[in-house]
A and B are shown apart, each in its own frame.
Chain A
Amino acid sequence: MGAAPILEMRNITKTFPGVKALSDVNLSVMPAEIHAVVGENGAGKSTLMKVLSGVYPSGTYDGAIFFEGKERHFRTIANSEDAGIIIIHQELALVPLLSIAENIFLGHETSRNGIINWYEAFSRTRELLSKVGLEEHPNTLIANIGTGKQQLVEIAKALNKKVKLLILDEPTSSLNEKDSNALLELLKGFKAQGISCILITHKLNEVMKVADRITVIRDGKTIDTMDVHTGAVNEDRIIKAMVGRELSERYPPRTPKIGETLLEVKNWSVYHPIHADRQVIKGVNLNVRAGEVVGIAGLMGSGRTEFAMSLFGRSYGKRVSGEVLLHNKPVDVSTIPKAQAAGLAYVTEDRKTFGLVLIDHIKHNISLANLPGVADHGVVNDIREIGVATKYRKDLGIRSSGIYQTTVNLSGGNQQKVVLSKWLFSEPEVLILDEPTRGIDVGAKYEIYGIINQLAAQGKAVIVVSSEMPELLGITDRIYVMNEGRFVAEMPAKEATQEKIMRAIMKSWGT
């Protein structure tokens, strides 16, 4: 390499009481480079970025940071931002009820004597939005635009601060394929303008698409830095470095034993809870057999989650109509308790908002959906509850200090296992899993797939909603493709390919 790196982090070591989060981590980023940092959840990626951006002030860690050739001691986020290092977090830091322009200039208002010059802010916002390719009026409220566009606003905000090194933490985790691609293209555009970029992600296909170099972090150590342009880099090599072992298969093997039809949904239709005349689900039919894993594919916004939630006790939508049959008999699933009693369970796509009581511990979270199962006449039997929690912790391999660990402190994969435990303990016949592996590292994903296989082997009907098509191809028996609130195709997983699914979606637009 000819040029000097724009950023060098040397031998960074950061200890928390009792834990060594980072030990001797090295990271160097060249000018105009897209550098991917990958690793399992809890590997230390976020800690490293917090060290870099000054969240952990200089002096609380060992090692040195060189930026543009000079050693830096960032004490606050403002310090690192002044130097041109901007970090965009997974959870976006935008104020929903302020406009795009107000958000972009929040804290950096173009003002004279404390009076904001809105005209200037406006025209600057226009410029910035065109740079990131966002066609929205600067006065539009953040609450009224989708996550993909919000991400672009964040980036525009970063550009406004004269960014030299842009750090993106899981930028595409809540974006659909189209928005993700647009974002990645944007990063390539920045690269051409000389802006460097650190991309933290779980999605290896994205890494392969845009990254120049890849640094793998595992257990707080740098494992490897690979050059995509010279070395023989492929996803398998990255995964091997990430998990420290060869994952011979990404999906555990399974021999399906498919029985009678267990669940049948007929002519299911749902209207939007606020815009009452908008039909979100338009007369959908679905069936699942015992022991079968059925996938629902589709883009973000196609109505998958809305379908699943409306099915589960009408927890979404208005004017829900249609028929649900279990074992060929009609059942009432009009409220969540009724749906539960009928044998349905819904594992949410957003475990922090809808899945867990984060301030409470594992034991209480597991029993929550089936409290009568650990109680006699409304009085909780502590001993039985402990037994249940201990069993699921062991069976599902929840890694924690015990059943009394607060769930907020668990990694994404382990949180997901707690949510799964909760629903397994409610002893459902039909499980609807909405994005069961979102934001989870490769190792934990494999374990979750294993659990899904076990459930199917026990004769349960499993519905998996997922944005990751390879996942659906890997673990399901049959795939429904959803678009604009309809199933536009249905195919056995064996015959399905990503191209077939995409083609079905593309052909169906506007029909």
Chain B
Amino acid sequence: MTDIAARAERPSIMRFVKANMRDYALLLSLLAIMVFFQITTGGILFTPLNMTNIILQNSYIVIMALGMLLVIIAGHIDLSVGFLSGFVGAIAGVLMVSMKFDTVTSIVVCILMGTLIGALQGWFVARFRIPAFIVTLAGMLIFRGLMIAMLSGRNLGPFPQTFQSISNGYVPDLLAFMAPPGLNLFALAAGALVTVLVLWSNLRARRLEEAHGMAEEPIQLFYARNALIAAAFLSFSWIMASHRGLPNVLITMFALVALFMFITTRTTFGRRVYAMGGNEKAAKLSGINTERITVMIFAIMGALAALAGLVYAARLNSAQPKAGQGLELDVIAACFIGGAAVTGGVGKVTGAVIGAFIMGVMNNGMGIMGVGIDWQQVIKGVVLMLAVFLDVYYKNNSR
């Protein structure tokens, strides 16, 4: 009896894995790339210091990739985000360094600026139906010029201490009184708490699925996947804990990723964005205000680009006239590596985040190995091409 059951189950696991090949392949690629660089860098990659660095270096890519994912799902593109973030960084520099505004006011003004600029670009796209490619290409040129003009081509710094702490600060170890030396107990506790929360919510979702007879994922895979998640979270927080604890920017990033996962999967707004990207005409005739949603998406993108610009400026502790250059390409690449479709209507937050980290780990690993910028570009291009090629290849084969 058990024999038959086991035999019947095995192919169904295989079938499920095959049907969700894309998601698994993405995660496995990230793992493979990490292992590869761990070996080629002689074990530097996974050191607590370097892991923290990877987080800090990639935070702005991840932050912008979240907004870009919405833009791409809606069937648009935003080329302006790189220089928009740089431009906002320059504004922050002028406000805080030259005009001596306080940190909080400056941050609020900067993020509002980004939101407004994004909304304006979105308005041109939505209201006048100018392709986003053109609108944001124009934006890219404009923001770059404005950034250089504002800074007169020079670096502007240093920033006040409070502003720097956005990027360079760490969450204080609230449990320091009982922590063993060299270990940030709060980071570990927070990691454990998040792990428990994620497992609990996954389990709850699974229960609901089962109760409604719609659980498709084989139970063994479900357990294996969650065990993997738990292991990854816990070991990650261990690594963080043995350096300086949780960087502030990691908290920001984590909160934003969770928020955007919620928006894309659970809210009516998210659903409307997918529907609009899948078939704009049908969405419109279903009573969805596509113009308003387009403006909102670009406004969100603008806000995130502004935030990324602040994080970037805070990290370098100066507003620089070359800030943000080429970032838009990394951000867009992260989304497409993560499985978003150029035609719109398809894409996941997890995909974009993993895509961003694939790019980030490669940047970091190649940097440590001493690969020149020239070859780094080539290799990143090849990886992007390969990811999209595999995507298309699997799609055609599954048909």
Query: Could you list which residues of chain A lie within 8 angstroms of chain B, going by C-beta atoms?
Result: 312-313, 315, 336-337, 340, 346, 348, 353-360, 364, 367-369, 371-372, 375, 378-380, 382-383, 386, 404, 422, 426
Once bound together, how far apart are the Cα atoms of A364 and B281, in whole Å? Answer: 16
5 closest A-B pairs by beta carbon, nearest first, are A357-B278, A369-B286, A371-B268, A357-B279, A340-B287
B212 within 8 A of A: yes
Q: Could you mark each residue 218-242 of chain B with 1 if its beta carbon is under 8 Å from any beta carbon of chain A, else 0?
A: 0000000000000000000000000
Once bound together, how far apart are the Cα atoms of A355 and B268, in whole Å? Answer: 19
B212 near A386 with CB under 8 A, answer yes
Given contacts A340-B287, A359-B278, A371 and B208 within 8 Å (CB-CB): no
Given contacts A340-B287, A353-B281, A357-B282, A364 and B212 within 8 Å (CB-CB): no
B129 within 8 A of A: no
B266 near A379 with CB under 8 A, answer yes
Instruction: Supply 6 further A-B pairs (C-beta < 8 A) apart from A315-B284, A358-B278.
Output: A337-B287, A337-B289, A357-B278, A358-B279, A364-B274, A372-B268
Residues from chain B with a CB closer than 8 A to the CB of A357 are: 274-275, 278-279, 282-283, 345
CB of A360 to closest CB in B, whole Å: 5
Our pick among B212, B269, B275, B345 for the contact of A368 (Cβ within 8 Å) is B275
A354 near B282 with CB under 8 A, answer yes
B284 near A379 with CB under 8 A, answer no
CB of A305 to closest CB in B, whole Å: 12
Q: Restricting to B259-318, which residues have a CB under 8 Å from any CB of A? A: 266-269, 271-272, 274-275, 278-279, 281-289
Q: Tell me what chain B mostly uses at the interface: helix, strand, loop, or mixed.
A: helix
Q: Could you mark each residue 340-365 of chain B with 1 if its beta carbon is under 8 Å from any beta carbon of chain A, else 0?
A: 00000110000000000000000000
Residues from chain A with a CB closer than 8 A to the CB of B345 are: 357, 359-360
B271 near A380 with CB under 8 A, answer yes
Once bound together, how far apart are the Cα atoms of A76 and B160, in whole Å? Answer: 70
B214 within 8 A of A: yes
Residues from chain B with a CB closer than 8 A to the CB of A353 are: 279, 281-282
Once bound together, how far apart are the Cα atoms of A358 and B283, in whole Å? Answer: 11
CB of A174 to closest CB in B, whole Å: 17
Residues from chain B with a CB closer than 8 A to the CB of A371 are: 268, 271-272
Given contacts A360-B278, A368-B275, A383-B212, A336 and B285 within 8 Å (CB-CB): yes
Residues from chain A with a CB closer than 8 A to the CB of B288 are: 368
Once bound together, how far apart are the Cα atoms of A358 and B275, in whole Å? Answer: 10
Given contacts A353-B282, A368-B283, A369-B287, A360 and B274 within 8 Å (CB-CB): yes
Given contacts A354-B285, A355-B282, A368-B283, A386 and B214 within 8 Å (CB-CB): yes
B285 near A346 with CB under 8 A, answer yes
A364 near B208 with CB under 8 A, answer no
12 A-B pairs within 8 Å (CB atoms) are namely A313-B287, A336-B286, A353-B281, A354-B281, A355-B285, A359-B278, A364-B274, A368-B282, A371-B268, A375-B268, A382-B266, A404-B214
Residues from chain A with a CB closer than 8 A to the CB of B278 are: 357-360
Our pick among B267, B283, B286 for the contact of A379 (Cβ within 8 Å) is B267
Residues from chain A with a CB closer than 8 A to the CB of B267 are: 375, 378-380
- In chain A, what residue has the closest Cβ to B208? A383
Once bound together, how far apart are the Cα atoms of A129 and B185, in whole Å? Answer: 83
B285 near A380 with CB under 8 A, answer no
Q: Which interface residue of A354, A357, A358 has the most chain B CB atoms within 10 A?
A: A357
Residues from chain A with a CB closer than 8 A to the CB of B283 are: 357, 368
CB of A314 to closest CB in B, whole Å: 12
Residues from chain B with a CB closer than 8 A to the CB of A426 are: 287
- In chain A, what residue has the closest Cβ to B209? A382
Residues from chain B with a CB closer than 8 A to the CB of A360 are: 274-275, 278, 345
CB of A456 to closest CB in B, whole Å: 23
Once bound together, how far apart are the Cα atoms of A382 and B212, in whole Å? Answer: 11
Residues from chain A with a CB closer than 8 A to the CB of B346 are: 359
CB of A361 to closest CB in B, whole Å: 11
CB of B266 to closest CB in A, whole Å: 5
CB of B397 to closest CB in A, whole Å: 12
Residues from chain B with a CB closer than 8 A to the CB of A422 are: 286
Q: Which interface residue of A353, A355, A360 has the most chain B CB atoms within 10 A?
A: A360
- In chain A, what residue has the closest Cβ to B211? A383
A364 near B284 with CB under 8 A, answer no
Once bound together, how far apart are the Cα atoms of A360 and B268, in whole Å? Answer: 15
Residues from chain B with a CB closer than 8 A to the CB of A379 are: 266-268
